[in-house]
């Protein structure tokens, strides 16, 4: 009997010790959570517009639903690329309409109009901006934020940014700073490809460095996260991954995307039309020497496996992908915990494929993504230049975490 009691006591101790080491299910509180906990009273009596998409969630509940349940007067919704509910594929034009679930008007910011008009803002006092970014200059959400801030300043409205983590972390900065001639919807800030900032920080830097176009003072408020640290990549945040766009279903896809997005600008499939876009690369008669693959594997800590695939149109995810219906040969990419240079990896892979396959062509879009024509001569020893170092120094003033 004494032996049995001793065993039970030991089991209890083990269980208690295991429980004491179990991490919190959520380490990071997003700006949206902090808003609900501490700032709801400030929205009382205000007409509120929302710039959001499906990533604007607290747990499994959309922020729109939470705000409406709290009695906040929501008067307008604004849809970025992929739509307010996220049911549009990349680059697909979005029209104004009505949100079926709430009955609220939806104004498109990814059609003929990419910047809110005075008419769109006529029934709005405060704009809440809440979207999960991926940390890339060419991801259009930072441009949408710039357009919203400029429109709000011109129309005497407030913008509150409900901050969320940079999935790649706040210390990873890489790539050329955008050159003026390549400014576009996929590049509207003079920043590196991977900027290492949250959207809240980026907005403060845009205002402080005079990157935005408005004559009056902008009224911008960042609702900071709690618990986020710059060294955290997404898996360390404890937050559930909600795809920020249909072709980035997991953090791994989004992380590798920082480098493999460049394949959008050349005649190689970046994997759209497959189950693993940006982790699947291929083309007709594509060749890459085994030695080159081994060098990339060793240098960047990735796994590269051969594959054949056929891109297909996937409604709401990828319409009319490159080489639709054609059998391609290529490879899949799988990361390891040591993988920490996605931009450099993507550029190195692109360079290796272009050397081995002179039939590959490119379009101007490659320069818009890279922000420079220097992408044509990239090598792993590349120096990002004086502008990069200036950015690193300047951004220090605007870091919130």
Token readout for 84 is 């307010």
Same domain, 201 and 284: no
pLDDT for position 217: 85
The reply to whether 261 and 335 lie within a common domain is yes
pLDDT at 50 over 90: yes
Residue 26 lies in a domain: no
- Each residue of 91-128: pLDDT tens digit? 678 889 998 888 999 999 998 899 999 999 999 999 99
Total structural domains within the chain: 2
Confirm whether 13 is domain-assigned: no
| Domain boundary pick from 189, 215, 240 | 240
- The parent domain of residue 282 ranges over 251-370
Q: How much is the pLDDT for 389? A: 97
pLDDT at site 101 = 86
pLDDT for the residue numbered 18:
35
What is the pTM for the complete model shown? Answer: 0.90
Q: Are residues 39 and 161 in the same domain?
A: yes
Per-residue 3-state assignment (H helix, E strand, C coil) for 72-119: CCEEEEEECCCCCCCCCCCCCCCCCEECCCCCCEEEECCCCCCCCCCC
Percentage with pLDDT > 90 across the chain: 84
Task: Note whether 72 and 133 are same-domain residues.
Answer: yes
CA triple 339-341-342, angle to 5 deg = 90
State the Cα–Cα distance between residues 175 and 194, nearest whole angstrom: 6
Same domain for 279 and 215:
no
Residues 266 and 215 in one domain: no
The last residue of one of the domains, among 240, 263, 287, is: 240
Q: Determine, yes or no, domain membership for 379.
A: no
Q: Tokens 């003026």 label which residue?
A: 180
- Indicate whether 262 and 114 sit together in one domain: no
Is 149 part of any domain?
yes
Whether 344 maps to a domain, the answer reads yes
Residue 74 domain-assigned (yes or no): yes
Check whether residue 222 and residue 259 sit in a common domain: no
Do 195 and 260 lie in one domain? The reply is: no
Among the candidates 215, 240, 265, a domain finishes at 240
Residue 256's contacts (CB-CB under 8 Å, 6 or more residues apart) are: 278, 279, 333, 335, 342, 345, 346
Residue 334 has pLDDT above 80, yes or no: yes
pLDDT in tens, 157-206: 999 999 999 999 999 999 999 999 999 999 999 999 999 999 999 999 99
CATH number at residue 196: 3.40.50.12170
pLDDT at 299 over 70: yes
pLDDT at 12 over 60: no
Q: Tell me whether residue 398 is in a domain.
A: no
Angle at Cα 74 formed by Cα 69 and Cα 79, nearest 5°? 115
227 and 261 share one domain: no
pLDDT at 20 over 50: no
Q: Are 222 and 314 in the same domain?
A: no
Across residues 119-140, what is the average pLDDT? 97
Q: Mean per-residue pLDDT for 323-338?
A: 97
The backbone torsions φ and ψ at residue 392, rounded to the nearest 5 degrees and listed phi first, read -55, -40
Domain harbouring 354, CATH code? 3.90.1150.140
- In this structure, are 312 and 215 located in the same domain? no
Residue 9 lies in a domain: no
């Amino acid at each position: 009997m004494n032996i049995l009691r001793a065993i039970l006591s030991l089991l209890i101790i083990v269980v208690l010790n295991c429980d004491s080491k179990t991490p919190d299910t959520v380490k990071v509180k997003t700006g949206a959570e902090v808003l609900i906990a501490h700032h709801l009273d400030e929205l009382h009596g205000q007409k509120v517009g929302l710039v959001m998409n499906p990533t604007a969630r607290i747990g499994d509940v959309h922020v729109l639903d939470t705000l409406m349940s709290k009695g906040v007067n929501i008067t307008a919704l604004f849809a970025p690329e992929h739509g307010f509910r996220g049911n549009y594929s990349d680059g697909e034009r979005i029209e104004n309409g009505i949100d079926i679930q709430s009955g609220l008007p939806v104004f498109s910011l990814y059609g003929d109009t990419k910047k809110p008009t005075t008419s769109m803002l006529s029934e709005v006092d405060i704009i809440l901006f809440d979207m999960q970014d991926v940390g890339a200059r060419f991801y259009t959400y930072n441009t949408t934020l710039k357009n919203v801030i400029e429109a709000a300043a011109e129309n005497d409205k407030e913008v509150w940014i409900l901050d969320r983590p940079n999935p790649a972390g706040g210390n990873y900065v890489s790539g050329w700073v955008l050159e003026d001639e390549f400014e576009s919807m996929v590049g509207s800030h003079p920043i590196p490809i991977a900027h290492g900032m949250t959207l809240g920080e980026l907005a403060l830097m845009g205002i402080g460095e005079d990157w935005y176009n408005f004559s009056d003072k902008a009224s911008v408020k960042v609702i900071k996260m709690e618990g986020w640290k710059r060294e955290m990549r997404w898996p360390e945040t404890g937050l559930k991954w909600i795809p920020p766009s249909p072709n980035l279903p997991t953090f791994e896809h989004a992380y590798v995307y920082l480098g493999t997005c460049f394949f959008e600008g050349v005649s190689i499939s970046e994997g759209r039309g497959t189950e693993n876009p940006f982790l699947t690369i291929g083309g007709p008669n594509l060749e890459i020497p085994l030695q080159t693959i081994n060098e990339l594997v060793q240098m960047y800590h990735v796994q590269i496996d051969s594959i054949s695939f056929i891109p297909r149109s996937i409604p709401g995810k990828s319409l009319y992908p490159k080489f639709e219906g054609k059998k391609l040969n290529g490879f899949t990419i799988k990361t390891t915990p040591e993988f920490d240079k996605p931009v450099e990896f993507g550029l190195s892979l692109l360079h290796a494929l272009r050397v081995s396959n002179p039939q590959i062509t490119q379009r101007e879009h490659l320069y818009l993504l890279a922000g420079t024509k220097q992408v044509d001569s990239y090598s792993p020893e590349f120096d990002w230049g004086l502008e990069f170092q200036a950015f690193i120094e300047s951004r220090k003033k605007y870091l919130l975490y």
